[in-house]
Amino acid sequence: MITLSVIKADIGGYVGHSSMHPELIAKGQKNLEKAKAKGLLTDFHVTRCGDDLQLIMTHEQGEGNERVHKLAWDTFMDCTAIAKKLKLHGAGQDMLSDAFSGNVKGMGPGSAEMEFEERGSEPVLIFMADKTSSGAWNMPLYKIFADPFNTIGLVIAENMHAGFSFEVHEMKKHRKMIFDAPEEIYDMLALIGAPGRYAVKAVRHRPSGEIAAVSSTDKLYAIAGKYVGKDDPVLIVRSQGSFPAVGEVLEPFAFAQAVQGWMRGSHFGPLMPCSIAQSNPSRFDGPPRVVCAGFQLSGGMLVGPLDMFDDPSFDEARRQANIAGDYFRRHGPFEPHRLPLEEMEYTTMPKVTKKLRGRCVPID
Ligand code: F6R
Ligand code: MG
Ligand code: MG
């Protein structure tokens, strides 16, 4: 069995919150190279999306392994030290705990992990987003694994015709529910259509139960108790064979869906698919970005990456994102560009509105 772990953190932006300084990536590579030499990791790839450092690791230690999580934590700490030295913006932003305690969960960094038996051919797609929150994968995951208008394999491939099961998490309450698609899609949509509250954590093949996709559902504000930046989630998807084809997995991103995030984590904006090199959210700190690194696994080795959105067939999605971005921006501080009030509770705005309370008098 091989475990694929993606652990990420925003530990300092360059310039502002737009991108990542190369020294941080180099340090990440150095640390993981050492861990590979010691046999803890089978292989790794260090990359970034916007200002988030992404550690993609394969190993045989299983999910939630303390040594692997400590390696990620220590690496983020080492990179934070460099970020502080360079005075990068928000150095150590996601490191919300003073000391490591067994697992990065609940400590700031986000993680998605899956353990499986590697197939004869094992294509995996790692999606990474910046300037948006957990739950942003709900619509793409629904389309990939439950919508025949996106995934023709659900209709015409016998090994996918039984559908997939979705594990849905109610993030704030730490509760979960399993839905079987296609039978229960209407029930499931009632929940996952509210991505601020519910997120698809995992998808499994039916009836085999084989893991198909896992996302990070870590909510930064719930951990920190205050606004410290958006979750910037990641997603792992296995592809081909009895899973949707690579093209079926990428297809939902040809539509720049509106997600929560963008400037100060307080706005709706279009999710723009782009190459890793172009994931430098600059306009109004955005618009939110999604990148995708594709690999073939070979005995746990990560053969790749292929930069999946570095493809002109996503040009129209990028253009659509820019047009939608203009439309949203023209609302300025008004909803629905700005998030609804319930969601603004988790931003810096309540500090401002608190001051206005004393001025409030009854209407006669
Ligand atoms: C959004 C984000 C940025 C910052 C903004 C203010 O996720 O990280 O939009 O919220 O640039 O940043 P500070 O408060 O660090 O000056
Ligand atoms: Mg940041
Ligand atoms: Mg970020």
pLDDT of residue 229: 82
Nearest CA to ligand 1 atom 2: 264
Look at residue 347 and tell me whether its pLDDT is greater than 90: no
Ligand 3: centre distance to CA 51 (Å)? 5
**Tens digits of residue pLDDT in 294-343:** 999 999 999 999 999 999 999 999 999 999 999 999 999 999 999 999 88
Could you tell me if 212 and 145 are in contact, meaning their C-beta atoms sit under 8 angstroms apart? yes
Nearest CA to ligand 1 atom 14: 264
- Mean of all residue pLDDT scores within the chain: 96
pLDDT of residue 98: 82
Asked, for residue 56, whether it belongs to a domain, the answer is yes
Ligand 2: centre distance to CA 179 (Å)? 34
Active-site annotation holds for 10: yes
Measured distance CA(3)–CA(196) in Å, rounded:
29
pLDDT of residue 335: 98
Measured distance CA(169)–CA(112) in Å, rounded:
14
Nearest CA to ligand 1 atom 8: 229
Ligand 2: centre distance to CA 301 (Å)? 30
Q: Which amino acid is at 118?
A: E
pLDDT of residue 218: 87
- Segment 171-192 mean pLDDT: 96
Ligand 2: centre distance to CA 105 (Å)? 19
Domain count, the chain: 1
Q: Give the confidence band of 37 by pLDDT, cuts at 50, 70, 90.
A: very high
Identify which of 174, 178, 175 has the alpha carbon closest to the alpha carbon of residue 163.
178
Look at residue 345 and tell me whether its pLDDT is greater than 90: no
Residue 132 CA to its chain's centroid (Å): 8
Asked, for residue 362, whether it belongs to a domain, the answer is no
**Active-site residue, selected from the candidate residues 14, 142, 221, 227:** 227
Active-site annotation holds for 36: no
- For the chain, the first-to-last Cα distance in angstroms comes to 70
Nearest CA to ligand 1 atom 6: 264
Look at residue 181 and tell me whether its pLDDT is greater than 90: yes
Measured distance CA(72)–CA(109) in Å, rounded:
9
Measured distance CA(323)–CA(168) in Å, rounded:
32
**Tens digits of residue pLDDT in 254-299:** 999 999 999 999 999 999 999 999 999 999 999 999 999 999 999 9
Look at residue 184 and tell me whether its pLDDT is greater than 90: yes
Nearest CA to ligand 1 atom 12: 264
Structure token pair of residue 179: 């839905």
Asked, for residue 207, whether it belongs to a domain, the answer is yes
Look at residue 346 and tell me whether its pLDDT is greater than 90: no
Ligand 2: centre distance to CA 260 (Å)? 15
Identify which of 227, 237, 224 has the alpha carbon closest to the alpha carbon of residue 260.
227
Asked, for residue 212, whether it belongs to a domain, the answer is yes
**Tens digits of residue pLDDT in 72-114:** 999 999 999 999 999 999 999 999 988 898 999 989 999 999 9
Active-site annotation holds for 14: no
Look at residue 251 and tell me whether its pLDDT is greater than 90: yes
Which atom in ligand 1 lies closest to the alpha carbon of residue 130?
Answer: 7
**Tens digits of residue pLDDT in 209-236:** 999 999 999 888 888 888 888 899 999 9
Asked, for residue 360, whether it belongs to a domain, the answer is no
Which numbered ligand comes closest to the C-alpha of 12? 2
Which numbered ligand comes closest to the C-alpha of 265? 1
**Backbone torsion region of residue 265, taken as left when φ is above 0, otherwise alpha when ψ lies between -120 and 50, otherwise beta:** left
Asked, for residue 357, whether it belongs to a domain, the answer is no
Q: Which residue range is the domain that position 180 belongs to?
A: 2-350
User: Which residue shows structure tokens 């303390």?
Assistant: 66
Could you tell me if 165 and 178 are in contact, meaning their C-beta atoms sit under 8 angstroms apart? yes
Ligand 3: centre distance to CA 173 (Å)? 24
- Ligand 1 pocket test target in 8, 17, 133 with most atoms within 8 Å of CB: 17
- Ligand 1: list residues with CB < 6 Å: 16-17, 90, 131, 229-230, 263-265, 285
Which atom in ligand 1 lies closest to the alpha carbon of residue 229?
Answer: 7
Asked, for residue 364, whether it belongs to a domain, the answer is no
3-state secondary structure the chain: CEEEEEEEECCCECCCCCCCCHHHHHHHHHHHHHHHHCCCCCEEEEEEECCEEEEEEEECCCCCCHHHHHHHHHHHHHHHHHHHHCCCECCCCCCCCCCCCCCCCCCCCEEEEEEECCCCCEEEEEEEEECECCCCCHHHHHHHHHCCCCCCHHHHCHHHCCCEEEEEEEHHHCEEEEEEECCCHHHHHHHHCCCCCEEEEEEEECCCCCEEEEECCCCHHHHHCCCCCCCCCEEEEECCCCCCCHHHHHHHHHCCCEEEECHHHCEEEECEECCCCCCCCCECCECCEEEEEEEEEECCEEEEEEECCCCHHHHHHHHHHHHHHHHHHCCCCCCCCECCHHHHCCCCHHHHHHHHHHHCCCCC
- Segment 10-17 mean pLDDT: 97
Q: Which amino acid is at 146?
A: A
Q: Which amino acid is at 253?
A: F
